[in-house]
Amino acid sequence: MTAVTLEAPPPGLHTRNPLGALPAMRRDPLQLFESLAREHGSVAAFRLGPQPAVMVSGPEAVREVLVSRADDFDKGDIQRRAFTPALRNGLLIVEGDLHRVQRKLLVPHFQARRISNYVDIFAREAQRHADRLDDGSEVDLLAVMGGITRDVIGHLLWSRSLAEEAELAAAVTRVFEWEMRALFALVPVPLGIPTPANRQMNGDLRWVRGRIQAIIDERRAAGGEYNDLLDALLQARYDDGSAMSDDQLLDELITLWGAAHETSADAQFWTAALLATHPQVRDAVAAEADRVLGDRLPTADDLGRLPLAMAAFKEAMRLYPPAASLMREAVRDTTLGGYRIRKGTIVFISTYSMHRDPALYPAPELFDPERFLAGVDENGRPAAAPAERNGFGYLPFGAGRHVCIGSTLALTEGQVFTAVLARRLSFDLIDDGPVEPQLLINLRPRGTVRATVSRRVPARSENVA
């Protein structure tokens, strides 16, 4: 007997327009997801032209996509088309056995124990950039945050500032821009077709791989020990004792760069913008940093004593998750939230909508880092912070087999930047009106956000004589 599926399709936007929600998606995907969630609930169907799609924004359904039914979904053709030319077999885009094997090899190098080694890089770079900003100067806030995170990623990857590798950084930026256009293209143009953009991309890819290979070769020739990811990956061994091929190593280094840089810059931007518009929180973060650090830079031992800096960073990622939408494609007929999902349906997980659900976060529009501060229960025992009890309802780093490998590193970086910057300076936004987010690959501000810099004279620590 043939199996009969009784599940109904999800509720959603049913329109006769052959383009479906494509114009709305191109105009403002966040708005589209918000209105789908509001009007149709946490699993809502729509079409992008002939392509069936579903928006998912409830913790239970998200858990199904990423964990309990993860075998029914993969990264999908759209993401593969956009990301495979640059990342090739990098962790972010591959699936199956290769993903499992690479993940096992890489994960140990991102554990908290190893990351404490990087705290001084985060602190030093944040301070160096902060010290270059003059009192009263006007800056592009995203560019400032992008500058710090770019230098940090250079030191993390191979102990070199990317300022020394300006040509490489520029070529990689062009590669990421090509990816973004490919992700949103109405009619994808295969990379093999020699349009001017594709010719540039192919040239950039060849050049970038050649330059990174040269960095690897230089490192092998120089020998010695380095406190960076290149060193860690060169020493990493599979179960059979063998090392990664140079091709795979290149794929992982480019993937780490791509995954780490933009997301961190955006998270840091939103944190700074929210602190600029919430002076009370900003002053409290600065006071915490003054009290704990005095005149010195943070070390790994200070991390547990800067809870407000961490909470402010986490709360900023709740309101503005850099990865505001995760994409998957159904590889077979399946269900989500009890609704029928056909093979080939594109799934957009809207963490942005989920993080603003009033059922999970009272007064969701409010920037309130206290949601992420641990407290005590009625018996005086330590209790998890309210927002940390939401489980799958807070997902800035995704979940399941592709969950961010750099999440501890990113959180530590965010906490250290927030504390160091708050001690040295404060920003005030120049233009009135709210800063509007726009969803590109990550969640960025719409337009340039300008800020005035005020240098602070930090108060001395209670611990300093």
Cβ distance to ligand HEM smaller for residue 268 or 290 = 268
Count Cβ atoms below 10 Å from residue 367 Cβ, excluding itself: 19
The two structure tokens encoding residue 243: 């090392």
Does the protein bind ligand HEM through residue 63 (CB under 6 A)? no
The minimum distance between CB 69 and ligand HEM, in angstroms, equals: 14
Distances, alpha carbon 131 to alpha carbons 41, 122, 187, 304, in Å: 48, 14, 46, 25
Does the protein bind ligand HEM through residue 337 (CB under 6 A)? no
Pick the stretch among 10-18, 292-300, 359-367, 392-400 that binds ligand HEM (CB under 6 A).
Answer: 392-400
Pick the stretch among 17-25, 36-44, 53-61, 400-408 that binds ligand HEM (CB under 6 A).
Answer: 400-408
Q: Can you tell me which of 398, 445, 455, 456 binds ligand HEM, judged by CB under 6 A?
A: 398
Compute the half-sphere exposure of residue 71: CA atoms within 13 Å on the CB side of its CA: 2
Does the protein bind ligand HEM through residue 57 (CB under 6 A)? no
The two structure tokens encoding residue 456: 């602070």
Cβ distance to ligand HEM smaller for residue 21 or 92 = 92
Does the protein bind ligand HEM through residue 402 (CB under 6 A)? yes
Burial, 151: exposed, middle or buried (Cβ in 10 Å; 0-12, 13-18, 19+)? buried
| 152 contacts 413 by C-beta, under 8 angstroms | yes
Contacts (CB under 6 A) with ligand HEM, residues 342-381:
none
The two structure tokens encoding residue 11: 């509720």
| 414 contacts 102 by C-beta, under 8 angstroms | no
Does the protein bind ligand HEM through residue 406 (CB under 6 A)? yes
Q: Can you tell me which of 57, 255, 350, 412 binds ligand HEM, judged by CB under 6 A?
A: 255
Three-state SS at 434: coil
Does the protein bind ligand HEM through residue 325 (CB under 6 A)? no
What is the rounded CA–CA span in Å between residue 41 and residue 33?
10
134 backbone dihedrals φ, ψ, rounded to 5°: -80, 150
User: In the chain, what is the straight-line distance between the N-terminal and C-terminal CA atoms, in Å?
Assistant: 82
How many residues touch ligand HEM (CB under 6 A)? 22
Does the protein bind ligand HEM through residue 267 (CB under 6 A)? yes
Which ranges constitute the DSSP H helices of 225-278? 229-235, 246-277
Taking residues 166 to 205 in sequence order and writing x for each that binds ligand HEM by CB under 6 A, - otherwise, the string is ----------------------------------------
Q: Can you tell me which of 298, 337, 396, 437 binds ligand HEM, judged by CB under 6 A?
A: 396
359 backbone dihedrals φ, ψ, rounded to 5°: -70, -25
What is the rounded CA–CA span in Å between residue 133 and residue 209?
34
Phi/psi region, residue 375 (left: phi>0; alpha: psi -120 to 50; beta: rest), is beta
Q: Is 404 labelled as part of a ligand binding site?
A: yes
Pick the stretch among 9-17, 124-132, 269-277, 397-405 that binds ligand HEM (CB under 6 A).
Answer: 397-405
The minimum distance between CB 391 and ligand HEM, in angstroms, equals: 16
The minimum distance between CB 352 and ligand HEM, in angstroms, equals: 12
The minimum distance between CB 256 and ligand HEM, in angstroms, equals: 5
Report the interface residues with ligand HEM, using CB under 6 A.
Answer: 91-92, 103, 255-256, 259-260, 263-264, 267, 322-323, 326, 396-398, 402, 404-406, 409-410
